[in-house]
Structure 1
Amino acid sequence: MKLTPKQRQSIPLIVFVLLLLTIFIFVAVRSGPLAPISVTLSTVESRTISPDLSGVGTVQARYTYKIGPVITGKIASLNVNVGERVEAGQLLGEMDAVDIAQRLQAQEAAIRSSEAVVLQATAKEDYAKSQARRYEQLILTRGTSEETLLSKRQELAIASATLSASISEMARLRAERDALLSQLKNLNLIAFADGLVAARNAEPGSTVTAGQTVIEIIDPDSLWINARFDQHSAEGLAAGLPAEITLRSRQSQTLAGSVLWVEPKADAVTEEMLAKIVFATTPTPLPSIGELAQIRLRLPALAETPTVLNAAIRTLNGQRGVWKLTQDGILFVPVVLGRTDLDGYVQVLEGLQVGDQVVLYSDKTLKADSRIHITGSLTGTSR
């Protein structure tokens, strides 16, 4: 067939269009939307893991001493401020009793009056005794009647009872006076033990009631963390486990500690286990009381099971699973997971076997019909 001059002129244009189409298809397949998705793989291994347990808590002082007056009074002076260290027996402040001096004066007057009453009752009893003895002698000589003798004996019994009551009343008044004197001695606010002043709840000139806390002291060496752990993952929580403590104010610092004990009573409302975490060494500077802390515990090692890195776990249509590499490409396989450790490994209880290869990272979201390209590392990853 012989080409016409016009057809011969169209050949370069057709070749150029075919070349452009070829380049477009090549680019689309290699780097466009039809390009394979780059992925990195991970192999399912059989290994033991030491699961981690995370919880939160607040810094508390195990020993707290609340110092206050035993009677109502006015604060005369305070000698310490918040943040200062004190020693056992140190004078922290003094109280000025409101009416204790007047009460003592009244008590002393009542005691003197009671002493006079006792003296008077003693004299009456002595006279009644002498009268009773005289009439007992007279009855022998028939110098008086039986009725008169009985009357004198009754007067003696009344006098003895009056004296006994007067002595008891005087003892009561003296005991009340001694109690007031003891209260006077307790007007000084004394440190019960060595510690750190954590709070100063009143100032000089303030009137405080009996038992009200004026100075609060904590033992800085007894700081611990009142921690909470989810009951669903608290299996293995026990005293003695090592702990990693991260204070909210010191995110870049991890402090060592351990579980002192697990509370026998859990929180039924929040479904959490409670435990006390102690520091291996007292932090410097001291954390604030009430500060939040993140706790991580490494539990005892579990038996060997198939494990996979946690980064390989995906969620598809509400199911948790992994993209498994097969001869025909990739397949989403639902899995049943177990415990996780601090290194990022998670137990696979069902769905995978040791030696299976799964997608760890991908640069795009995967689908069942996605074409993949296996690579050693990715600059950007997608789950």
Structure 2
Amino acid sequence: MNYESGVMAEKGDPITVDFDPDEDDRLEKRRTDRRRIIIIAGLIVLGLAIAAYFAMRGGTTTPAGEENAQAPTVTVVRPGRTTVEGEITATGSLAARREMPVGVVGEGGRVVSVPVDAGDWVSQGQVLARIDRSVQSQQVQSFSAQVQVAQSDADLAQANLDRALQLVERGFVSQADVDRLTATRDAAVARVRVAQAQLAELRARNARLDILAPAAGYVLERNVEPGQTVSAGSPPLFRIARGGEMELLARLNEDALASISPGTRAQVRPVGTDKLFTGQVWQVSPIISEQDRQGTARIALSYAPGLRPGGFATATIASGTVVAPILPESAVLSDEDGAYVLIINGEDKAERRAVTTGTVTSKGIVIAEGLNGSERVVLRAGGFLTEGETVRTQLAELDD
């Protein structure tokens, strides 16, 4: 640098110093370059540190505890094994256990009165309908008169025979006359019997004009009205449930039929009501339908106003006891492959397990096959887990 300075000889004169401006620019440039170098070096060091971090991360395994800490938490249960009353659910239609169709058993005719209606209780021999018998009544009177005529002839013949027997000892009447009078008397008595039989037959025919209840029961249908003409070929005029007894014709598959027997208890609930009716199986179908591979279990029921023949009902039939795990409905999932549950294995990973479900009870769904009861089963949200996913578990207790 070039400096020019001058010193005044005299006191008080200023001293001046001259600086080179290019020298300042060079100093500023050096400082800028130094800062740039420092920044670049810092970025290089930072980049190397980041690269080393990712290199170390990629070449090492995350500790199990840290991995589990990041895993979702699910609630699991250990179902164990429970003794459950086996139940079979079936559907079917209600009917009269012993239905009696009642029709015309005589000659028929015009109906003059129908004293009963559907829904009435009737006793054995009670008149259900009366048929006009005005002509038959006249015939009865005619036959009654014929009986009287025949009886009079028989009485006369007997009197003639008695007189002849008194005279035969005196010789006024021969034995041949006695034999003839005896034959006349016997013929007259026979005619009386014929007339009496004809009268009894007519009275029996007239009695059959009344439609009578063959047994005590509950009238299900009435298909006749006063003024209607009926005959022996007419359809049944009444249908009666003998004793008012009903039954449910429950349809069951072959396996279910094999597990029940006559006398098995059942609960029946007609459609449209929550009321239960207790009955018991009284007959198991000896054949299986070739169309649907099902048979019929007939469940006897006592009369009740809520049981209407022809209605639809559901039956729950007891089928003995079973020992099996029970799971809440939320734990059992299903898809096109069938029912399954998600269990948590020893590595805390979700694992699919196919199961066979049994009956549905108030406690949950019986698992017939697939679980032994010691597994940790995902209680809820199983549908949001994927097989093989690592989870943390929280054990819940099932309600008794």
With the shorter chain as reference, the TM-score category is 0.5 to 0.7
Contact 1:71–1:211 (8 Å) recurs in 2: no
Which of 271, 291, 316 matches 1:296? 316
Residue 230 of structure 1, aligned match among 248, 253, 271: 253
- Residues 80 and 374 of structure 2 are in contact (CA less than 8 Å); yes or no, is this contact kept in structure 1? yes
Deviations 1:297-338 (A, max 9, x none): 121113x45665564333356254321102242111334x36
User: How far is 1:101 from its partner?
Assistant: 7.2
State the identity %. Answer: 22
Query: Residues 176-211 of structure 1: CA distance to partner in whole angstroms, max 9, x if unpaired?
Result: 775444211221222333322221101111111216
Corresponding residue number in structure 2 for 1:243? 266
Distance across 1 between alignment mates of 2:211 and 2:335: 67
Matching residue of 2:103: 68
Residue 214 in structure 1 maps to residue 237 in structure 2: yes
Gaps of 5+ in 1: 4-34, 116-167, 378-383
Deviation at 1:231, TM superposition (A): 1.9
Q: CA deviation at 1:83?
A: 1.8
Unaligned runs of 5+ residues in structure 2 are: 1-33, 37-69, 151-189
Given that residues 62 and 222 in structure 1 are in contact (C-alpha distance below 8 angstroms), is that contact kept between their aligned partners in structure 2? yes
Compute the displacement of 1:356 (Å).
Answer: 1.2
What is the deviation of 1:248?
Answer: 0.8
2:355 is the counterpart of 1:332 = no
Matches within 5 A, 1:331-370: 331-335=351-355, 337=356, 339-340=358-359, 342=361, 343-350=363-370, 352-362=371-381, 364-368=383-387, 370=389
SS at 2:379's partner residue? Answer: strand
Give the 3 Å change call, closer, same or farther, for CA 2–180 of structure 1 in structure 2: farther
Q: 1:313 aligns with which of 315, 324, 332?
A: 332
Cα deviation, residue 100, structure 1: 5.4
For the residue of structure 2 that corresponds to 1:274, the secondary structure is strand
Conserved in 2, the CA contact under 8 Å of 1:49 and 1:345?
no
TM-score (norm 1): 0.62
Q: Taking structure 1 as reference, are residues 36 and 265 closer, same or farther at Cα in structure 2, changes over 3 Å only?
A: same
For residues 201 and 127 of structure 2, what CA distance do their matches in structure 1 show?
Answer: 22
Amino acid at match of 1:79: P
Aligned residue pairs total 295
TM-superposition CA deviations, 1:44-67 (whole Å, max 9, x none): 423433321011122222233333
Checking the alignment, whether the CA contact within 8 Å between 2:333 and 2:383 is kept in structure 1 is no
Corresponding position: 1:42 with 2:77:
yes
Q: CA RMSD in A?
A: 4.3
Relative CO higher for 1 or 2, CA cutoff 8 Å, sep ≥ 6?
1
Once the two structures are superposed, the pairs formed by residues 146-161 of structure 1 within 5 Å of their partners are none
| Alignment check: 8 A CA contact 2:248 2:300 kept | yes
Identify which range, 310-319 or 183-192, moves more after superposition: 310-319
In the TM superposition, 1:140-219 aligns within 5 A as 179-210=201-232, 212=234, 213-219=236-242
| DSSP-derived class of the 1:196 partner | strand
- Paired position in structure 2 for 1:22: none
* Equivalent of 1:51 in 86, 94, 99: 86
**Given the superposition, is the C-alpha separation of residues 97 and 266 from structure 1 closer, same or farther in structure 2, using an over 3 Å criterion?**
farther
